[in-house]
Amino acid sequence: MNPARRVLVKLSENRWLREHGPHFRFVRAAASRFMPGENVDDALAAAASLKAAGITTLLTQLGENVTARSEAEGVVAHYLDLLERIRVANLPAEVSVKLTQLGLDLDREFCCSNLTKLIERSAALLPAAHHTLWIDIEQSAYVQATLEIYAQARKSYRNVGVAIQAYLYRSEKDIGALVAMGAAVRLVKGAYSEPPDIAFPDKKDVDENYFRLAQALLAHDARRNGVRAVLATHDRALIDRLIAWAAAQSMPRGELEFAMLYGIQRAEQSRLAREGYRSDVLISYGSFWFPWFMRRLAERPANVWFVVRNLFSS
């Protein structure tokens, strides 16, 4: 991993910075590039304007590693309310959650029952075209538990999806199992700092693995088995390569689904929607944004200059 990236991911885990970083005005100004605001109203307004451009959304309230059951219960109550607000506003939006936000560090059964409430409410309130409840994938220490919880949930519910990180060696095998289940999978490169014995250290190997895993998810048999593949990347070369490959398989454009983060590659998000591909944008909101923002800096260390510019202009 690029050393600048490693330092930024480490800083995202620093307790002092997590608490104090958000109080600096120039940091808040820089973070606003990646989120429409801290409130759910800001996120819903952004989702409505993306809808007008033919772009669907994924909504997530920032937060991870809750340390009290009451906190996790508050998160569940928030998402239950959010699902109702998505229904009322008639938005093509799905919800994405982190299991550590639902209490995975506290009690696995408690976390699973919280997840079940959200999956059931999503199915009950939202139209089948967009009622998947997504599970984010976190650091490698949580991957096994996340996939076990996913497999368990998938036995009872079809409207649940999970993210998979192309940087992990294990993901090839995990994708095989998910394809066999006919799962909904959001493929990402991976946002954390992982050691070379479990993750490809070189970016070009991650990119190549992403392409291979995407091919496995988009294969004719996988799609026939009900797999929904969401290709979450801003990598234009990779997107063009996947589009060319899918066209060579005579795959209809509407079956290719791409996802990006709010505020990144906006022109590309619109281009994909205009050209008939499914284009999703993940909108994050909430007050606990510091570690998430640092991971966004780590993905593109040049973003640090953006923070520095805000320091001098604030």
Instruction: Choose the stretch contacting ligand FAD; rule: CB under 6 A; options: 63-71, 80-88, 177-185, 258-266.
Output: 258-266
What backbone phi and psi angles, to 5 degrees, belong to 218? -95, -5
Name residues whose C-beta falls within 8 Å of residue 233's C-beta, 6 or more positions apart in sequence.
187, 188, 189, 210, 239, 258, 259, 260
| Binding test (CB under 6 A) with ligand FAD, winner from 158, 181, 299, 301 | 299
Nearer to ligand FAD, 59 or 259 (CB): 259
Residues 270-289 that bind ligand FAD (CB under 6 A): 282
x-or-dash string of contact with ligand FAD, 4-43, rule CB under 6 A? ----------------------------------------
Give catalytic status of residue 309 as yes or no: no
Q: 278-285 and 56-61: which strand pairing?
A: parallel
Residues 185-204 that bind ligand FAD (CB under 6 A): 188-192
Told to check if 300 binds ligand FAD by CB under 6 A, we report yes
Give catalytic status of residue 186 as yes or no: yes
Residues 133-152 that bind ligand FAD (CB under 6 A): 136-137
- Nearest approach in angstroms of CB 153 to ligand FAD is 16
| Binding test (CB under 6 A) with ligand FAD, winner from 178, 259, 283, 294 | 259
Told to check if 163 binds ligand FAD by CB under 6 A, we report yes
x-or-dash string of contact with ligand FAD, 45-84, rule CB under 6 A? ----------------------------------------
Which residues are near ligand FAD by CB under 6 A?
136-137, 163, 165, 188-192, 232-235, 259-261, 264, 282, 296, 299-300, 303
